[in-house]
Structure 1
Amino acid sequence: DDEGKLGFADTENDFELVNDFIVDENYKNCTHASHCMIYSKSNVPILNIYQPRSLILMQFRFDGYLGFPGGVVDPGESPEEALNRELSEESGLVSLVELKQDDRMMIHYNRYKSLVLHFFVKEVSSDVFRQIELLSIKAPEYGNEVLGTLRVPLYTMTDGYRGFPAFLQNKFIGNSRQQLLESLIKLKLMSTEEIQKVLFL
């Protein structure tokens, strides 16, 4: 089914970046899905030591994988309409956050599954971010599709491994790990050099 296409047994190499100007026409017969990274810049130290850089919301999924909020685009929906619907179902967001077409940062295509993944990014205030976390446990899909939310630790602890390097060793659905890393670079939250250093530990 379409939900089963969203990443099971995928590797990041299965996904290629595609031009958003051609995706609607060239890939109109594919399965489409939309996901988003909600984040808030932060300078409040973790444990009074580690600089968080930014708060980034991810989810612990029903299948044991980590991923971003979102899901399949239904017939007749635009990618952003589908995402706003999924945010309401998974995170309980009705009016706090609304994703628009301009919030789309990248699109990836998986030719093996004829699957197009639209990825959006939205910055919110720290207060709104906290409200999103609190509302998530009241969402219709909490405890079903979504087992909880989590924050991405963007710091590396003094042993050189705990924090972000350890976090990246988790299992991520589809190419969500790739989406995270590319977004960090595009948003200038981390440099390419910092990312490469973490990946080669």
Structure 2
Amino acid sequence: MAESCTESSRTSIWGMLEDSEQYGRHGDSKNDYKVIDYQSSKNNSENMHGSHGMIYAEDDKVLWDLYPNRGAILMQMRFDGILGFPGGLVDPGEDPVLGLNREMHEEIGLDLEKFSFTDENHVITFLNEEKKLILHFYIKQVNIDELKSIEMASMQAVEHGIEALGCIRPPLYTMGDNLRGLPLFLCNQFAGNAREELLIGLYNTKLLTREEIDTALKLAEQFKSKV
């Protein structure tokens, strides 16, 4: 009886999210995920799959005559108040990249005739053994005007205001106080390993150097240790 009541209560809390809420929780560590082979993992039916995509554009604008903007990356505020990349769980039997495009269209209204992702956009695949979850991460470059049009279209997406609460751009600079900008952004709560995906994306696209990324991480950890 006690177990039945617990399950009933849990269902009433999560509703339609009951089957999926465990996969996108905050607080995961990068140590919870290990890198695995993409091609062989695509046929793994024993684990749940998720696909997420990073859309970015280079931008040589200098902000306030001080900070090189470097570029723009699209992330989003999720329904649960934490940050992540557009994407989500892949349906059973669905190819990971097709699942990504479906989720991209639903969450940010991505025009798939112009901006669809392909296997060539794949960057890295992770396995979380505890969650039995395989995560595929993709990166696609557009120009800055195209990125702005994608941002605008996101407000008309099917899931806007439901699963996705709006696109955001991480600041890709560290301000003079050695805190505001990217270090403080990295102190936010991220879904799953989205924080690690962001760092991989910054390095993979050469928007920031390894030294710049490591410095931002160090400053973020110093701040978090004080609060």
**TM-score, normalised to structure 1's length?**
0.94
Partner of 2:218: 200
Corresponding position: 1:50 with 2:50: no
Partner of 2:203: 185
For the 8 Å contact 1:96–1:128, the answer to whether it is kept is: no
Superposed CA offset, 1:67-122 (max 9, x none)? 00001111231111111111111111123310001111000100001000000000
Corresponding position: 1:40 with 2:40: no
SS at match of 2:174: coil
For the 8 Å contact 1:2–1:31, the answer to whether it is kept is: no
More helix by share: 2
SS at match of 1:96: helix
Partner of 2:99: 82
Instruction: Report runs of 4+ in structure 1 exceeding 6 Å deviation.
Output: none
Task: Write the mapping of 1:5-44 to structure 2, written as runs, cut at 5 A.
Answer: 5-8=22-25, 9-25=27-43, 27-44=44-61
Percent identity of equivalent pairs: 43
For the 8 Å contact 2:42–2:95, the answer to whether it is kept is: no
Corresponding position: 1:139 with 2:157: yes
Shift of 1:21: 3.5
Amino acid at match of 2:170: V
Shift of 1:2: 4.7
Task: Write the mapping of 1:115-194 to structure 2, written as runs, cut at 5 A.
Answer: 115-194=133-212
RMSD: 1.3
Question: Aligned pair in 2 of structure 1 residues 52, 28: CA closer, same or farther (>3 Å)?
Answer: same
Partner of 2:114: 96
Distance 2:135 2:207 in 1: 22
Superposed CA offset, 1:3-31 (max 9, x none)? 22323142222111112243134x33210
**Structure 2: gaps of 5 or more residues:** 1-17, 220-227
Could you tell which deviates more after superposition, 168-177 or 1-10?
Answer: 1-10
Distance 1:21 1:192 in 2: 27
Distance 2:190 2:87 in 1: 14
Q: How many matched pairs?
A: 200
